[in-house]
Structure 1
Amino acid sequence: MKTSALSAPPLHSPANDGDDQAQRAAELAALHRAADAGEAAAGWVRELAGRQVEEEHGRLLERVAEAIVKASSREIIPGSDGLLTEELRYTLAADVVLGSSHTTGTLPELHPGERMPLIAVCAIAATFPSCVLGDLARELEVLAAEMEAATDAGRACAETLAE
Structure 2
Amino acid sequence: MTTSPPPWLPLPLPLPSPPGRTEDEPASGSGDQALDPAELAALHRGRDAGEAAAAWVRELADRQRDERHALALKHAAAGIERASHQEVIPGGDGQLTEELRYSLGADVLLGAAYTATLPDLAPDERLPLVAVCALAAAMPSCVLGDLARELALLADELDAATAAGRAATAATGSAG
Give me the TM-score of the superposition, normalised by structure 2. Answer: 0.78
What is the aligned residue count? Answer: 142
Match for residue 160 of structure 1 among 143, 147, 171: 171
Shift of 1:162: 2.4
In structure 2, the partner of 1:8 is none
Shift of 1:160: 1.3
* Cα distance in 2 between the residues matched to 1:158 and 1:119: 15
* Cα distance in 2 between the residues matched to 1:44 and 1:121: 10
* Cα distance in 1 between the residues matched to 2:59 and 2:97: 25
Structure (1/2) with the larger helix percentage: 1
Match for residue 30 of structure 1 among 34, 42, 65: 42
Q: 2:94 is matched by which residue type in structure 1?
A: G
* Cα distance in 2 between the residues matched to 1:25 and 1:103: 47
Percent identity over paired residues = 61
In structure 1, the partner of 2:81 is 69
* Cα distance in 1 between the residues matched to 2:166 and 2:123: 11
Runs of 4+ in 1 over 6 A off after TM superposition: none
Q: Does residue 1:128 correspond to 2:139, yes or no?
A: yes
Matches within 5 A, 1:28-107: 28-100=40-112, 102-107=113-118
In structure 1, the partner of 2:127 is 116
SS at match of 1:30: helix
Q: 2:148 is matched by which residue type in structure 1?
A: A
* Cα distance in 2 between the residues matched to 1:111 and 1:27: 37
Match for residue 158 of structure 2 among 109, 124, 147: 147
Shift of 1:161: 2.0
Give me the TM-score of the superposition, normalised by structure 1. Answer: 0.84
* Cα distance in 2 between the residues matched to 1:92 and 1:139: 20
Residue deviations 1:42-99, cap 9 Å, x none?
0000000001000000001001100000000000000011001111011111111100
Bigger Rg, structure 1 or 2: 1
Residue deviations 1:135-162, cap 9 Å, x none?
0000001000000000000000111122
Q: Give structure 2 stretches of 5+ with no counterpart.
A: 1-32
Task: Calculate the aligned-residue CA RMSD, in Å.
Answer: 1.6
Q: 2:51 is matched by which residue type in structure 1?
A: E
Q: Give structure 1 stretches of 5+ with no counterpart.
A: 1-19
